[in-house]
Structure 1
Amino acid sequence: MDYTTQMDAAKKGIVTPEMEIVAAKEEMDINDLVEKTARGVVCIPANKNHTNLSPEGIGEGLRTKINVNLGISRDCADVEKELDKVRTAINMKAEAIMDLSNYGKTREMRKKILDISPAMLGTVPVYDAIGYCEKKLKDITKDDFMRVVRQHAEDGVDFMTIHAGINRATAQIVKKNPRRMNLVSRGGALLFAWMEMTGNENPFYEYYDEVMDIFAQYDVTISLGDACRPGCIDDSTDASQVSELIVLGELTKRAWEKNVQVMVEGPGHMALNEIAANMTMQKRLCHGAPFYVLGPLVTDVAPGYDHITSAIGGAIAAANGADFLCYVTPAEHLCLPDLEDMKEGIIASKIAAHAGDIAKGVKGAREWDNTMSDARKALDWEKMFALALDPEKPRKYREGSKPREENTCTMCGEQCAVRNMNRILGGEEVTI
Structure 2
Amino acid sequence: MIYTTQMDAAKKGFTTKEMEIVAKKENMDLELLKKLMSQGKIVIPANKNHKSLDPEGVGEGLKTKINVNLGISKDCYDIDEEMKKVQLALDMKAEAIMDLSSFGKTKEFRQRLVTCSSAMIGTVPIYDAVGFYDKELKDITAKEFLDVVEKHAKDGVDFVTIHAGINLETANVFKRNKRLMNIVSRGGSLLYAWMELNNKENPFYEYFDELLDICEKYDLTLSLGDACRPGCISDSTDACQIKELMTLGELALRAWARNVQVIIEGPGHMALNEIKANMLLEKKLCHGAPFYVLGPIVTDIAPGYDHITSAIGGALAASCGADFLCYVTPAEHLRLPMLEDVKEGIIAAKIAAHAGDIAKNIPGARGWDNEMAKARQELDWEKTFQLSIDPEKARRYRKESTPEHENSCTMCGKMCAVRNMNKIMQGKDINILREDN
Q: Which residue is 1:102 aligned to?
A: 102
Q: Which residue is 2:194 aligned to?
A: 194
Quote how far apart the aligned CAs of 1:255 are: 0.4
Q: Which residue is 1:18 aligned to?
A: 18
CA–CA separation in structure 1 for the residues paired with 2:18 and 2:192: 37
**1:101-142 Cα shifts (integer Å, max 9, x gaps):** 011230000000011110000000000000011110000001
Q: Which residue is 2:325 aligned to?
A: 325
Q: Which residue is 2:48 aligned to?
A: 48
CA–CA separation in structure 2 for the residues paired with 1:121 and 1:252: 21
After TM superposition, list the pairs within 5 Å mapping 1:13-412 onto structure 2: 13-412=13-412
**1:365-396 Cα shifts (integer Å, max 9, x gaps):** 01110110000000111111111111110000
CA–CA separation in structure 2 for the residues paired with 1:140 and 1:262: 26
Give the counterpart letter for 2:262 in structure 1: V
What's the C-alpha RMSD, in Å, of the aligned pairs?
A: 0.6
Quote how far apart the aligned CAs of 1:311 are: 0.3
Which aligned runs of 4 or more in structure 1 are off by greater than 2 angstroms? none
Q: Which residue is 1:3 aligned to?
A: 3
CA–CA separation in structure 2 for the residues paired with 1:14 and 1:390: 39
Aligned partner of residue 337 in structure 1, secondary structure: coil
Quote how far apart the aligned CAs of 1:428 are: 1.1
Aligned partner of residue 241 in structure 1, secondary structure: helix
**1:218-261 Cα shifts (integer Å, max 9, x gaps):** 00100000000000000000001000000000000000000000
Give the counterpart letter for 1:147 in structure 2: D
CA–CA separation in structure 2 for the residues paired with 1:357 and 1:304: 27
CA–CA separation in structure 2 for the residues paired with 1:173 and 1:34: 38
Give the counterpart letter for 1:97 in structure 2: I
CA–CA separation in structure 1 for the residues paired with 2:305 and 2:79: 26
Quote how far apart the aligned CAs of 1:431 are: 1.1
**1:161-199 Cα shifts (integer Å, max 9, x gaps):** 000000011111111111000000000000000000001
1:413 to 2:413 alignment: yes
Aligned partner of residue 331 in structure 2, secondary structure: coil
Work out the number of aligned pairs and report it. Answer: 432
Give the counterpart letter for 1:329 in structure 2: T
Aligned partner of residue 56 in structure 2, secondary structure: coil
Aligned partner of residue 396 in structure 2, secondary structure: helix
Give the counterpart letter for 1:399 in structure 2: K
Aligned partner of residue 352 in structure 2, secondary structure: helix
**1:36-84 Cα shifts (integer Å, max 9, x gaps):** 1111100000000000100000000000000000000000000000000
Q: Which residue is 2:435 aligned to?
A: none
Give the counterpart letter for 2:189 in structure 1: A
CA–CA separation in structure 2 for the residues paired with 1:305 and 1:118: 29
Aligned partner of residue 161 in structure 2, secondary structure: strand
State, as a whole percentage, how many aligned pairs show the same letter.
68
Aligned partner of residue 61 in structure 1, secondary structure: coil
Name structure 2 gaps, 5 residues minimum: 433-437
CA–CA separation in structure 1 for the residues paired with 2:178 and 2:189: 14
CA–CA separation in structure 1 for the residues paired with 2:57 and 2:386: 25
CA–CA separation in structure 2 for the residues paired with 1:6 and 1:242: 29
Name structure 1 gaps, 5 residues minimum: none
CA–CA separation in structure 2 for the residues paired with 1:333 and 1:431: 53
Aligned partner of residue 171 in structure 2, secondary structure: helix
**1:252-308 Cα shifts (integer Å, max 9, x gaps):** 000000000000000000000000000000100000000000000000000000000
CA–CA separation in structure 1 for the residues paired with 2:243 and 2:115: 39
CA–CA separation in structure 2 for the residues paired with 1:12 and 1:389: 40
Report the more deviating stretch, 201-210 or 28-37.
28-37
Give the counterpart letter for 1:413 in structure 2: G
Give the counterpart letter for 2:276 in structure 1: A
Give the counterpart letter for 2:93 in structure 1: K
Aligned partner of residue 263 in structure 1, secondary structure: strand
Q: TM-score, normalised by structure 1?
A: 0.99
